[in-house]
C-alpha cells in the first residue's frame, strides 16, 4: 500500500492555523507549531474574557449609578433597596443610561426610592 503524505490536507490545515495567527509577534505568526500553541492560548483567553467583559460592564453601570446617586445625597445601596421596595423593575443598564442621558428621570427615580424607604 502506498504511503500517504497528507499533502493537500496538511497544507490546508496549516494555512488555516497560520491565517488565524496573523498579527502575532515573531515565530508565533510564522512557524506552524508555535502558531498553533499561541492560537490555543489566545482562544482560551478570548473565551474567558467574553465572560469577564460582562462583569466589567456591570461594574461600570454600578459606578455610574453610584456617582449619580452621590449627587442626589443617597447611597447606591439605599437607592437600589428603595427601588426594590417600590417594585420598580429596572435593571442597572437602564438606570445607568437614565443617569447619563435623562437626569430628570433619574431624579424622579431617586424620589421614588426615597419614598419607598421612608
In a domain, 13, yes or no: yes
Let me know: does 97 contact 65? Beta carbons within 8 Å.
Answer: no
**In which domain, by residue range, is 47 found?**
8-117
Which set of grid coordinates corresponds to residue 113?
A: 426610592
Residue written as cell 443617597?
Answer: 74
In a domain, 3, yes or no: no
In a domain, 2, yes or no: no
> Residue 21, SS3?
coil
pLDDT in tens, 87-102: 999 999 999 999 999 9
Beta-carbon count within 10 A of 15 CB: 11
- The domain spanning residue 18 has which CATH number? 1.10.1900.20
Q: How far is CA 91 from the centre of its chain?
A: 16
pLDDT in tens, 8-36: 989 999 999 999 999 999 999 999 999 99
- pTM for the full model? 0.80
Q: To the nearest whole percent, how much of the chain has pLDDT over 90?
A: 92
Let me know: does 112 contact 88? Beta carbons within 8 Å.
Answer: yes
Cα 106 from Cα 99, distance rounded (Å): 5
In a domain, 22, yes or no: yes
pLDDT score for 72: 95
In a domain, 43, yes or no: yes
In a domain, 40, yes or no: yes
In a domain, 1, yes or no: no
Number of domains in the chain: 1
- The mean pLDDT of the chain is 96
In a domain, 35, yes or no: yes
Quick check: 118 pLDDT over 90? no
Amino acid at each position: 500500500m502506498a504511503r500517504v503524505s497528507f499533502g493537500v490536507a496538511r497544507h490546508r490545515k496549516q494555512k488555516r492555523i497560520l491565517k488565524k495567527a496573523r498579527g502575532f509577534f515573531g515565530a508565533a505568526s510564522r512557524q506552524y507549531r508555535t502558531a498553533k500553541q499561541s492560537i490555543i492560548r489566545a482562544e482560551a483567553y478570548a473565551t474567558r474574557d467574553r465572560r469577564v467583559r460582562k462583569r466589567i460592564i456591570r461594574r461600570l453601570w454600578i459606578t455610574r449609578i453610584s456617582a449619580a446617586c452621590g449627587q442626589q445625597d443617597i447611597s447606591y445601596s439605599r437607592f437600589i433597596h428603595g427601588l426594590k421596595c417600590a417594585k420598580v423593575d429596572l435593571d442597572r443598564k437602564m438606570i445607568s443610561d437614565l443617569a447619563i442621558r435623562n437626569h430628570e428621570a433619574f431624579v424622579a427615580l431617586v424620589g421614588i426610592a426615597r419614598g419607598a424607604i421612608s
